[in-house]
Structure 1
Amino acid sequence: TTFAYQLKDREGLTFVHPYDDADVISGQGTIGIEMLEDAPQLETLIVPIGGGGLIGGIAVAARAMKNDIEVVGVQTRMFPSMHAELAGKEPGPLCGGQTIAEGIAVKQAGRLGFEIAKELVRDVLIVDEDDLEQAITLFCNVEKTVAEGAGAAGLAALLAHPQRFSGKKVGIVLCGGNIDSRLLASVLTRALVREKRIVSLRIIGDDRPGLLAVVSKVIGDLGGNILEVAHNRLALDVPAKGAEFDILMETRDSRHTQEIIDALVAAGYPPRTI
Structure 2
Amino acid sequence: MVTYNDIEEASGIIGQVAKKTPLEHSNTFSRISGNNVYLKLENLQTTGSFKIRGAYNRIYHLDQNQRKNGVVASSAGNHAQGVAYASTLMGVESTIFMPVFTPPSKIVATKNYGAKVVLSGESYDEAFKSAIEYAEKNNKTFIHPFNDPYVIAGQGTIGIEIYEQLKDVDAVVVPIGGGGLISGIAIALKHLKKDVKIIGVEAEGAQSMKLSVERNQIVPLVNLNTIADGIAVKIPGPLTFELVKIYVDKLVTVTDEEISRAMYLLLTRGKIVAEPAGAVSLAAVLFNKIGLKNKNVVALISGGNVDYGLLGQVLEKGLIEEKMMTKVILIIPDKPGSLKKILTYLSEKQVNVHDIFVERTSKDIPAGMARIILWVRTLGNESIREIDDYLTKENIAHRIEE
Which residue among 233, 250, 253 is the counterpart of 2:360?
233
Q: List per-residue Cα deviations over 1:93-150 (Å, max 9, x = no partner).
A: 46413x3211101001111111111122121111111222222222222332321111
CA distance in 2, matches of 1:164, 1:124: 11
> For 1:213-228, what aligned pairs fall within 5 Å after superposition?
213-228=340-355
CA distance in 1, matches of 2:369, 2:130: 64
Which residue among 241, 244, 258 is the counterpart of 1:131?
258
CA distance in 2, matches of 1:221, 1:11: 68
What is residue 30 of structure 1 aligned with on the other side?
157
Q: Match of 1:246, as an amino acid?
A: I
Which residue among 109, 116, 123 is the counterpart of 2:243?
116
204 and 25 in structure 1: CA distance in 2 versus 1, 3 angstrom threshold: same
What is residue 42 of structure 1 aligned with on the other side?
169
CA distance in 1, matches of 2:388, 2:167: 51
Task: Indicate whether 1:82 and 2:209 are aligned.
Answer: yes
Which ranges in structure 1 are unaligned for 5 or more consecutive residues? none
* Structure 1 residue 218, shift from structure 2 partner: 3.6
Q: CA RMSD in A?
A: 2.3
* Structure 1 residue 258, shift from structure 2 partner: 3.1
What is residue 259 of structure 1 aligned with on the other side?
386
What is residue 293 of structure 2 aligned with on the other side?
166
Task: Indicate whether 1:193 and 2:304 are aligned.
Answer: no
Q: Is the Cα–Cα contact under 8 Å of residues 218 and 264 in structure 1 kept in the other structure?
A: no
What is residue 53 of structure 1 aligned with on the other side?
180
Which residue among 5, 16, 35 is the counterpart of 2:143?
16
Q: Match of 2:386, as an amino acid?
A: E
Helix, strand or coil: the match of 1:176?
A: coil
Q: How many residues end up aligned between the 2 structures?
A: 273
* Structure 1 residue 202, shift from structure 2 partner: 0.7
CA distance in 2, matches of 1:183, 1:23: 33
> For 1:170-181, what aligned pairs fall within 5 Å after superposition?
170-181=297-308
CA distance in 1, matches of 2:208, 2:177: 8
Bigger Cα displacement from structure 2, 70-79 vs 144-153: 144-153
CA distance in 2, matches of 1:76, 1:102: 9
Q: Match of 1:123, as an amino acid?
A: K
Helix, strand or coil: the match of 1:150?
A: helix
* Structure 1 residue 234, shift from structure 2 partner: 2.5
CA distance in 2, matches of 1:3, 1:31: 30
CA distance in 2, matches of 1:163, 1:123: 8
TM-score, length-scaled by structure 2: 0.62
CA distance in 1, matches of 2:134, 2:380: 56
CA distance in 2, matches of 1:92, 1:191: 34
254 and 106 in structure 1: CA distance in 2 versus 1, 3 angstrom threshold: farther
Bigger Cα displacement from structure 2, 176-185 vs 23-32: 176-185
CA distance in 2, matches of 1:82, 1:24: 18
Which residue among 220, 223, 244 is the counterpart of 1:92?
220
Q: Is the Cα–Cα contact under 8 Å of residues 199 and 252 in structure 2 kept in the other structure?
A: yes
Q: Match of 2:329, as an amino acid?
A: R
* Structure 1 residue 271, shift from structure 2 partner: 2.3
Percent of residue pairs bearing the same amino acid type: 34
Q: List per-residue Cα deviations over 1:7-53 (Å, max 9, x = no partner).
A: 44444433332110111111111111110110111111000000100
CA distance in 2, matches of 1:229, 1:2: 47
Q: Match of 1:58, as an amino acid?
A: I
CA distance in 1, matches of 2:281, 2:135: 35
CA distance in 2, matches of 1:8, 1:102: 24
Which ranges in structure 2 are unaligned for 5 or more consecutive residues? 1-127
Q: Is the Cα–Cα contact under 8 Å of residues 284 and 290 in structure 2 kept in the other structure?
A: no
* Structure 1 residue 62, shift from structure 2 partner: 0.7
Helix, strand or coil: the match of 1:27?
A: helix
TM-score, length-scaled by structure 1: 0.89
247 and 112 in structure 1: CA distance in 2 versus 1, 3 angstrom threshold: same
CA distance in 1, matches of 2:221, 2:275: 26
Q: Is the Cα–Cα contact under 8 Å of residues 42 and 169 in structure 1 kept in the other structure?
A: yes
CA distance in 1, matches of 2:271, 2:300: 16
Q: Match of 1:111, as an amino acid?
A: P
CA distance in 1, matches of 2:381, 2:196: 40
Q: Match of 1:272, as an amino acid?
A: R
CA distance in 2, matches of 1:50, 1:93: 12
